[in-house]
Amino acid sequence: MLTLHNCLLLSALLFATGVFGVIARRNVLIVLMSIELMLNGVNVAFVSFAKFYPGSSLAPAGHVFVLLTMAVAAAEAAVGLAIVIAWFRNRKTTDTDDMRSLRW
Amino acid sequence: MIAALGIRLGDPAAYVFLAFAAMTCGSALIVAASRNIVYSAYALLLTFFGVAGLYAFLDADFIAAAQLLVYVGGILVLILFGVMLTHKIRDINLSNETTNPIIGAAIAGFIFLALAYVSIYTKWDVVERTASPTTGEIGKAFVGKYLLPFEASSVLLLGALIGAAYLARREKEKP
């Protein structure tokens, strides 16, 4: 049951769900959540490869990558939400279709 | 189908794994498809819990704890703050539409099928790692082989947090 195939399928499903959310949703907060879903999917793939390809050394490189990804995800969430809140304060919207002030 | 997934009936670990997998995928679908943004945020909580359970299944004890601490304790609370600061809780219809669900579903389905094809039809020569505590090894790896990425990520985190605090602070009142 706990095989590499199943774990990779699960991570692919999480990643595809995140892609759907990013493309199809208009609320920028849902887009941020979907990005977190995609990052989690990739992390599941990393951890399952660390489980099923232990490598020669004892240090699990997959786990190290996952921790670095978590740091980047935390930074991304903080900056993304700061931008969303600053935008909402100025324009009163969280709709991605309204965010076109850089387009003429 | 069930045999293809390698389920042996009567193996309790299989059922727990299936439950975690179903929880993760189902709540991820709710996150991406729910009309109510508060439901999405709380479904994200379930997704993070499910992923943490999968990490525990995959013998990644430290990663599972870090997932709970960082994602559930940090990122999810940040996202909930974002939801509460930009919406009224009762607002269901406030700009929460889907724009192009067909294109989105097509691209997501294509990506899923490609990844599933690769993961099923590649001949992985799997060596299963025996369960052992990983915390000490991760710590040694971070101060040894992976010292530079560790320091770089810490500087990135510091810069991002300073930038986030600068971006989100309230403008000073003009006299």
Tens of pLDDT, residue by residue over B139-157, are 888 898 899 999 999 999 9
User: Of A5-9, B24-28, B33-37, which has the strongest mean pLDDT?
Assistant: B24-28
* Angstrom distance (rounded) from CA B62 to CA B52: 10
Average pLDDT over residues A37-44: 94
Token code pair at residue A94: 């969280």
* Angstrom distance (rounded) from CA A74 to CA B105: 27
Q: Judge: domain B12-90+104-132, CATH 1.20.120.1200.
A: yes
Q: Which of A77, A52, A50, A72 is nearest to A61 (CA)?
A: A50
Asked if B136 reaches chain A (Cβ–Cβ under 8 Å), the answer is no
Residues of B in contact with A1 (CB under 8 A): 5-8, 11, 13-14, 17-18
For residue B122, which phi and psi values (nearest 5 degrees)? Answer: -80, 140
Whether pLDDT at A14 is above 90: yes
Average pLDDT over residues A34-52: 92
Asked if B18 reaches chain A (Cβ–Cβ under 8 Å), the answer is yes
Average pLDDT over residues A44-54: 87
Token code pair at residue B66: 């870090």
Whole-model pTM: value is: 0.87
Asked if B89 reaches chain A (Cβ–Cβ under 8 Å), the answer is no
From B27-36, B45-54, B88-97, the region with the lowest mean pLDDT: B88-97
pLDDT given for residue A38 in this prediction: 95
For residue B173, name the pLDDT band (cuts at 50, 70, 90). low
Please count the residue pairs, one from chain A and one from chain B, whose beta carbons lie less than 8 angstroms apart: 275
Percent of chain A with pLDDT over 90: 47
CA distance B34 to chain A (A): 9
Q: Where are the alpha helices (DSSP H) in B58-127?
A: 61-66, 76-86, 101-121
Q: What is the mean pLDDT of chain A?
A: 86
Whether pLDDT at B5 is above 80: no
Q: Which of A31, A39, A51 to mutate to test the interface with B (most CBs of B within 10 A)?
A: A51
Domains and CATH numbers, chain A: 4-91 (1.10.287.3510)
Q: Where are the alpha helices (DSSP H) in A53-93?
A: 61-91
pLDDT given for residue B117 in this prediction: 92
Residues sharing a CB contact under 8 Å with residue A88, sequence separation 6 or more, in sequence order: A94, B85, B86
Contact A82, B164 (CB under 8 A): yes
pLDDT given for residue B76 in this prediction: 92
Contact B63, B50 (CB under 8 A): no
CB contact under 8 A, A6 and B6: yes
- The ranges assigned to domains in chain B are 12-90+104-132
B10: DSSP letter: T
Contact B163, A79 (CB under 8 A): yes
Contact A17, B28 (CB under 8 A): yes
Q: Which residue of A has its CA nearest to B140?
A: A59
Token code pair at residue A11: 């991570």
Average pLDDT over residues B65-93: 82
For residue B8, name the pLDDT band (cuts at 50, 70, 90). low
Q: Is B91 helix (H, G, I), strand (E, B) or coil?
A: coil
Q: Which residue of A has its CA nearest to B46?
A: A37
Q: Which of A29, A65, A95 to mutate to test the interface with B (most CBs of B within 10 A)?
A: A29
Asked if B103 reaches chain A (Cβ–Cβ under 8 Å), the answer is yes
Q: What is the mean pLDDT of chain B?
A: 84
* Angstrom distance (rounded) from CA B41 to CA A22: 15
CB contact under 8 A, A72 and B156: yes
Look-up of token digits 């870090």: B66
Residues of A in contact with B17 (CB under 8 A): 1-2, 6
pLDDT given for residue B157 in this prediction: 93
Contact A95, B95 (CB under 8 A): yes
Q: What is the tens place of the pLDDT at every residue in B80-98?
A: 988 888 876 555 554 456 6
